[in-house]
Amino acid sequence: MEALLQFAPMQSSVDEGFWHRLSSLKLNKLGIDDSPILICGFYAPCSHSQVSNHLTLLAESLASDSSETPLIPEPSRGNRNRSPIPGILYNTNTVESFHALDKHQLFNKEAAKIWDDILTGKAVEDCSLLSRFLVISFADLKNWTFNYWFAFPALMLHPPATVLNLKPASHWFTVPEAESLSAACNQWRSSKSTADVPFFLVTIDPNSRASVRLLKDWEACQSNAHKILFGFYDPCHLPNNPGWPLRNFLALISVRWNLNSVQFFCYRENRGFADMRLSLVGEALITVPQGWKDTVPSAVGWELNKGRKAPRCISLGQSMDPTRLAISAADLNLKLMRWRALPSLNLNALSSLKCLLLGAGTLGCQVARMLMAWGVRKITLVDNGRVAMSNPLRQSLYTLDDCLNGGKFKATAAVESLKRIFPAVEAEGIVMAIPMPGHPVNSQEQDSVLDDCKRLCDLIDAHDSVFLLTDTRESRWLPTLLCANTNKITITAALGFDSFLVMRHGAGPLSYAHNFNAEIADSSSADMPVNDANGKDRLGCYFCNDVVAPTDSTSNRTLDQQCTVTRPGLAPIASALAVELLIGILHHPEGIFAEGDVNNIVTGATEQPLGILPHQIRGSLSQFSQMTLIGYSSSSCTACSHTVVSAYRNQGMDFILQAINHPTYLEDLTGLTELMKSATLLSLDWDQEIDEEDCVEI
């Protein structure tokens, strides 16, 4: 006696994004309208020998609440991991209405749709209609709890189908047939036009060549010499039971093609490829009474909750808060990086990193957004300017409203914008000017300037990394000195009209155990690099290549010289590189002490996961070119040399006032004044020795 064919019930899974989309739809568009909503579920063939796949609802299972069209979801097609299945959702306004729904009537209505699709042939043209499903729900948006119940209507055959010889496909087919069928299934699953088509025909010719075809090709498959099997994507993993979709498939086969014996193929996968050992093949015997087509068959399919017929309830009070959901969504790309591309990515280090951005203009806006994209959550912006009418087009955190009534302070407006973009960011805006050499202060301003110096010092102490993104050269001097003194990670980005510089500053001079006396003795040589105890050259800062101290660069300038006139595409490029440079430092084993890499030449023992870590990146838009350079520290640097940092440590704020008020103070201190005199004398000696007769015209 043949055994009854028993099916593994379909199981459901609902992503949090679906509930968030439903909540938004209910709040913003539906209101009290409780009309049925068309939805789309997704399932795929079983891909693991121990775990069945579920029918899943995602955010895209619902139409967007911003759509002006009727609420019809439009899922993307051709995704091999998402076969779209049409469904309908009845979402009630109260929990009482949810429990009072006529579930029997709603269920039979969906079963009748499936039966009608079979009789009319719609299910042959669009086989996903065979797996229609129903969801009833109540969304408590005050407490973020959701009551719901799935039903997967399956038409019942009378008498029930029986089964012969259900066994793994690898035991059913010959080896050539199994290999050919595997190749045909893999090709079917790789084609965008068929990858998500869950029901199909399998034919095998006398030469053991298999092919997979659409259901509508049934007539073309008729041949006495061909084996024909009816295949479907089986979400079930059980070795002795086919999945739920086969039930309605058998009803279709019986009604449309009047077959009493059906060989079916339960298609399952392993690691994305056909697996004949997991897949099943069986023969079902179908006996239907006279007049069976005249009435809608009975159906079953309400999903069980822990073994009994009852709805489910889920509370998402913790995760459905928009801020929490934004955090989860923002980190998704970073978490996916860790799967394969970058397993060593340290998300905790990034989320706890404190970044100080000096300048909230074109560069500051771009850097702040890029930092958030990398998972940085603690950002402080310092700027004393206001948002001008010319800013919003180039500075991405500002809008026209920020320019009105004299303009908001940039630091304040930028923080407000960051929090609108990502509410979980811990951003702070500081309205403050940075004291600068070449901009002397009188006695009345001295206390205020000293307060700004102390405040800037405290800010740098409180942060892990500092970005120098200001408009002028002299405004970068004091932060560079303070960062060198505290050994902070420092990144500079500077723009020309069509060129840019992005660089990381080397570690501070007092962080190295090198021979300071040797440096002081050779302080007249501005080109001489400073070595650490291991003989490595210390990388330079923004000022190490200069032979003059920073001075006033803003006075007596025309309008185009006062503004940062630069090609619009330059700032996003430089900002992105600046942030990538920081991420590279954080993931390098030597951190701030890492040597500089040039192009594909890596100085470390092994290449780092994020690639090379350059010292300087200089680019030109006019040439569409970019190069990496190394510049070593100078013993005569006016910002990071041992002489300057030691003087600051010994004299404190008095040293800073001297540098601000006296134009040549830094040059005299570092030996640049003597160096320039020596160069002038050498130039004069050279000129006197030149004989006109010794010149050769080229």
Whole-number Cα distances in Å, 153 to 135, 297, 681: 11, 11, 97
SS3 string, 638-690, reads CCCCHHHHHHHHHHCHHHHHHHHHCCCHHHHHHCHHHHHHHHHHHHHHHHHHC
Catalytic residues: 563
> How does pLDDT run across 650-663, given as a tens digit for each residue?
999 999 999 999 88
> Per-residue pLDDT averaged across 588-597, rounded?
90
* Choice among 227-236, 281-290, 611-620, 675-684 with the minimum mean pLDDT: 675-684
> How does pLDDT run across 7-32, given as a tens digit for each residue?
999 999 999 889 989 988 887 788 88
Q: Supply 149's token pair.
A: 């119940």
Percent of the chain exceeding pLDDT 90 equals: 64
Partners of 4 in beta bridges: 162
- Counting every residue written for the chain, the total comes to 698
The CA-CA-CA angle for residues 636, 640, 645, to 5°, reads: 100
> How does pLDDT run across 160-179, given as a tens digit for each residue?
999 988 999 999 999 999 99
DSSP string, 179-200: HHHHHHHHHHHHSTTTTT--EE
Q: Examine the pLDDT at 493 and tell me if it is beyond 60.
A: yes
Which residue, 642, 638, 680, is CA-closest to 662?
638
> How does pLDDT run across 393-424, given as a tens digit for each residue?
999 999 999 999 999 999 999 999 999 999 88
d(CA 211, CA 184): 6
Q: What is the pLDDT of residue 471?
A: 87
Q: What is the pLDDT of residue 85?
A: 95
Whole-number Cα distances in Å, 453 to 71, 436, 577, 656: 59, 10, 29, 8
Secondary element (H or E) of residue 358: strand 354-358
Partners of 267 in beta bridges: 233
Single-letter residue type at 314: I
Question: What 3-state class would DSSP assign to 242?
Answer: coil
DSSP string, 10-71: P-EEE-HHHHHHHHHHIIIIITT----EEEEEEE----BTTB---EEE-GGGS--TT-SS-S
d(CA 667, CA 254): 96
> Per-residue pLDDT averaged across 321-331, rounded?
70
Q: Examine the pLDDT at 302 and tell me if it is beyond 80.
A: yes
Decide: residue 458, CB within 10 A, 0-12 exposed, 13-18 middle, 19+ buried: exposed
Phi, psi of 659 (to 5 degrees): -65, -35
d(CA 173, CA 176): 8
SS3 string, 326-356, reads HHHHHHHHHHHHHHCCCCCCCHHHHHHCEEE
Q: What is the pLDDT of residue 684?
A: 52
SS3 string, 261-328, reads EEEEEEECEECCEECCCCCEEEEEECCCCCCHHHCCCCEEEECCECCECCCEEEECCCCCCHHHHHHH
Q: Collect all residues with Cβ–Cβ distance below 8 Å to 74 and sequence separation of at least 6.
A: 63
Q: Examine the pLDDT at 694 and tell me if it is beyond 60.
A: no
Q: Supply 142's token pair.
A: 């005050």
d(CA 256, CA 148): 35
d(CA 160, CA 162): 7
Mean pLDDT, all residues of the chain: 86
Q: Collect all residues with Cβ–Cβ distance below 8 Å to 329 and sequence separation of at least 6.
A: none
Q: Supply 376's token pair.
A: 């940085």
Q: What is the pLDDT of residue 419?
A: 93
Between 454 and 321, the more confident residue is 454
> Per-residue pLDDT averaged across 180-209, rounded?
94
Question: What 3-state class would DSSP assign to 545?
Answer: coil
> Per-residue pLDDT averaged across 312-327, rounded?
75
Between 676 and 555, the more confident residue is 676
Percent of the chain exceeding pLDDT 70 equals: 87
> Per-residue pLDDT averaged across 19-47, rounded?
89
> Per-residue pLDDT averaged across 33-52, rounded?
93
Cis before residue 36, ω within 30 degrees of 0?
Answer: no
| Contact of 71 with 25, CB cutoff 8 Å | yes
The CA-CA-CA angle for residues 45, 50, 55, to 5°, reads: 40
The number of C-alpha atoms within 13 Å of 384 and in the hemisphere containing its C-beta is: 7
Which residue, 328, 80, 329, is CA-closest to 187?
80
d(CA 398, CA 392): 5
Q: What is the pLDDT of residue 691?
A: 53
d(CA 352, CA 155): 56
Between 343 and 590, the more confident residue is 590
Q: Collect all residues with Cβ–Cβ distance below 8 Å to 551 and sequence separation of at least 6.
A: 437, 438, 474, 663
| Contact of 136 with 126, CB cutoff 8 Å | no
d(CA 219, CA 256): 12
d(CA 170, CA 181): 10
Decide: residue 553, CB within 10 A, 0-12 exposed, 13-18 middle, 19+ buried: middle
Phi, psi of 152 (to 5 degrees): -120, 85
The CA-CA-CA angle for residues 604, 638, 453, to 5°, reads: 105
Write down the pTM of the prediction.
0.57
| Number of CB atoms found within 10 A of residue 305's CB | 13
Q: Examine the pLDDT at 54 and tell me if it is beyond 90.
A: yes
Would you give the DSSP letter of residue 386? B
Buried b or exposed e, range 678-695, using 16+ CB within 10 angstroms: eeeeeeeeeeeeeeeeee
* Choice among 183-187, 513-517, 542-546 with the minimum mean pLDDT: 513-517
**Predicted confidence band at 556 (pLDDT cuts at 50, 70, 90)?**
low
Single-letter residue type at 155: L
Q: Examine the pLDDT at 561 and tell me if it is beyond 70.
A: no
Interhelix angle 245-257/103-120, nearest 10 degrees: 40
